[in-house]
Amino acid sequence: MKIQLFEAWRLKFEKPDWARNPEFGLIDTILESHPELIELLAEDITAHEKQTNFGRKDIPSVEQIVRAAIYKELKGLNYRDLEYHQSDSRICAQFVKLDTERYYSFQMYHKYIGKIKAENLEKLLIELNRIAINEGLEDLEKIRVDSTVVETNIHHPTNNSLVWDCIKEGHRLLSRLKEEIEGVDYRNYTKNAKRTFFKINNTSKDKRVDLFRKQLITFTKCINQVSNAVKKKSHCSSLRSMGLIIQLERLLPLMHQVYQMTLRKEIKGETVKSSDKIFSIYELHTDIIVKGGRNVEFGHKVNLTTGKANLILTCEIPRGNPSDSKLYTCSINKVKQNYAAVPRDVAADGSYASKANVEYAQSEGISNIVFNKVVGSLKSYTSSKNMETRLKKWRSGIEANISNLKRGFKIARCNWKGWAHFQAKVLWSTIGYNIRVMTSILASRLQKLA
């Protein structure tokens, strides 16, 4: 059912609080007219929660959680700031629909917002875009495709730093376990390991073999200590001690893997395949990304498709480091499946160019197929040279879209932990970006009427 979004938003814009916060006025109008958007995320939020009609309601409703998540993203807040804004910001209380006598803790918001899955956030993104299309904010006549990298929140990985991380983490867990279980004994090797770590960092590559041998001997002793501690699982007398043992069990295979990586590379001089490596013992999902001749990055590739109105239509986060050319057909397919439309024009960077991709686009009925830079016998297929030039110039605008997304929502580096939360954070930021774009379009219409 089509709604008169502009008219409803303009009426809300007449009120001072909403006029000063047009983005919240727009999304509030959409959520009030489309309660089914809230239901898309309800199942994740209420999972494993006991429903009762008795007692005082001390947890926020599903709608309040979704609204709080959107508010947090648009304002660029952390959870503690979100808790503070409940009492400090009038628009926060109004938008989130809070009872002014009862506010919720940051732990409460963290618990429930963190439960929302990426696949349902993708559905929310698609539904918001469909509303924009129905309202004439986007027409899907032409799309442009490009990819970027969002880094995970890790330090630059080296074999030396990974060994030191393992030793440091092993010692931290063992020291806490000793407080819980009598008879857990260990030797602290961190002082010598740290000294060797700094020596390796300040020694040229051809003179580091002896230092690495020394560090690996210390590392072996640490691995043995962790292995012995894991065997005391039967001595656990509390949930805390059991949790520490589980963490040590998870750390042990990582320590063995880091040991083998370092031995093969630094001592034996072998080349270690990326599939045999890990880049962080904390963010195991981290991939190594190499784009062209640029610097190596550690995180995940994000493939984006935007339309004429600068809305992000699709957001894909593949594992590994697939080439852009392998993501081209997927982008077109997702636009076709999600919005039941085939664009007339598709513009992409030269890294997406391949004969198979051109043939696929032509088979889908796309009229103008443009790649920014092509080599060899590949070429763009357009109705005219003028059309090719215009589409190439228009394609470059996606760089601004990506910059706006990453800078405006601070996701050049994602500080949410774990693969599931990484995906969720990128999609939350994409939803926030699209809300801003929709608000900008409607604001320009309002300005023309003034």
pLDDT score at 379: 85
What is the DSSP track for 129-161?
HHHHHHTTS---SEEEEEEEEEEES-PPP-HHH
Residue 398 has pLDDT above 90, yes or no: yes
- What's the CA gap between 136 and 7, in Å, rounded? 13
Both 112 and 123 in one domain: the answer is no
Q: Of 55-64, 86-95, 281-290, which gets the smallest average pLDDT?
A: 55-64
Neighbours of 409 (CB within 10 A): 20
Both 69 and 112 in one domain: the answer is yes
Reduced to 3 states (helix: H, G, I; strand: E, B; else coil), residue 212 is: helix
Both 64 and 200 in one domain: the answer is no
Tokens of 16: 């001072």
Both 95 and 128 in one domain: the answer is no
Query: For residue 226, what are the CA distances in angstroms to 94, 219, 246?
Result: 52, 11, 11
Both 302 and 439 in one domain: the answer is yes
When pLDDT is averaged across residues 409-420 and rounded to a whole number, the result is 94
Decide if 355 is inside a domain: yes
Enter the pTM of the model: 0.92
Residue 25 has pLDDT above 70, yes or no: yes
The CATH number given to whatever domain includes residue 416 is 3.30.420.10
Residue 299 has pLDDT above 60, yes or no: yes
Q: How confident is the model at residue 54 (pLDDT cuts 50, 70, 90)?
A: low
Contact 437, 307 (CB under 8 A): no
pLDDT score at 1: 39
Contact 251, 166 (CB under 8 A): yes
Both 265 and 345 in one domain: the answer is no
- Among residues 116, 146, 174, which one ends one of the domains? 116
Decide if 442 is inside a domain: yes
Both 259 and 125 in one domain: the answer is no
Decide if 282 is inside a domain: no
When pLDDT is averaged across residues 255-268 and rounded to a whole number, the result is 95
| Per-residue burial over 164-199, b = 16 or more CB atoms within 10 Å of its CB, e = otherwise | bbbbbbbbebbeebeebbeebebeebbeebeebbee
Mean of the per-residue pLDDT values of the chain? 90
Residue 311 has pLDDT above 70, yes or no: yes
Residue 52 has pLDDT above 80, yes or no: no
Residue 447 has pLDDT above 90, yes or no: no
DSSP code, position 234: G
Q: How confident is the model at residue 179 (pLDDT cuts 50, 70, 90)?
A: confident
Among residues 13, 48, 113, the alpha carbon closest in space to that of 431 is found at: 113
- What's the CA gap between 277 and 286, in Å, rounded? 10
pLDDT score at 396: 93
Task: Give the residue numbers spanning the domain of 107.
Answer: 5-116
pLDDT score at 19: 84
Q: How confident is the model at residue 375 (pLDDT cuts 50, 70, 90)?
A: confident
For residues 183 and 363, the model is more confident at 363
* Percent of the chain at pLDDT exceeding 90: 74
Residue 61 has pLDDT above 60, yes or no: yes
Reduced to 3 states (helix: H, G, I; strand: E, B; else coil), residue 162 is: helix
Decide if 421 is inside a domain: yes
Question: Helix, strand, coil % (nearest 5) of the chain?
Answer: 60, 10, 30
Decide if 264 is inside a domain: yes
Decide if 281 is inside a domain: no
What confidence tens digit (pLDDT) does each residue in 419-443 have?
999 999 999 999 999 999 999 998 8
When pLDDT is averaged across residues 195-213 and rounded to a whole number, the result is 93
Both 27 and 137 in one domain: the answer is no
Decide if 283 is inside a domain: no
Neighbours of 333 (CB within 10 A): 13
Residue 2 has pLDDT above 50, yes or no: no
For residues 182 and 75, the model is more confident at 75
pLDDT score at 367: 93
pLDDT score at 293: 66
Tokens of 294: 């640029």
- What's the CA gap between 364 and 343, in Å, rounded? 9
Both 10 and 110 in one domain: the answer is yes
pLDDT score at 6: 77
* Matching residue, tokens 């593949």: 318
Sign of CA dihedral 31, 32, 37, 42: positive
Across the strands, what pairs with 418? none
Both 237 and 337 in one domain: the answer is no
What confidence tens digit (pLDDT) does each residue in 211-245 have?
999 999 999 999 999 999 888 777 777 888 889 99
Both 228 and 326 in one domain: the answer is no
Both 217 and 340 in one domain: the answer is no
When pLDDT is averaged across residues 354-366 and rounded to a whole number, the result is 92
Name the domain count of the chain. Answer: 3
Pairing of strands 142-152, 345-348: parallel
pLDDT score at 209: 94
- What's the CA gap between 227 and 229, in Å, rounded? 5
pLDDT score at 51: 57
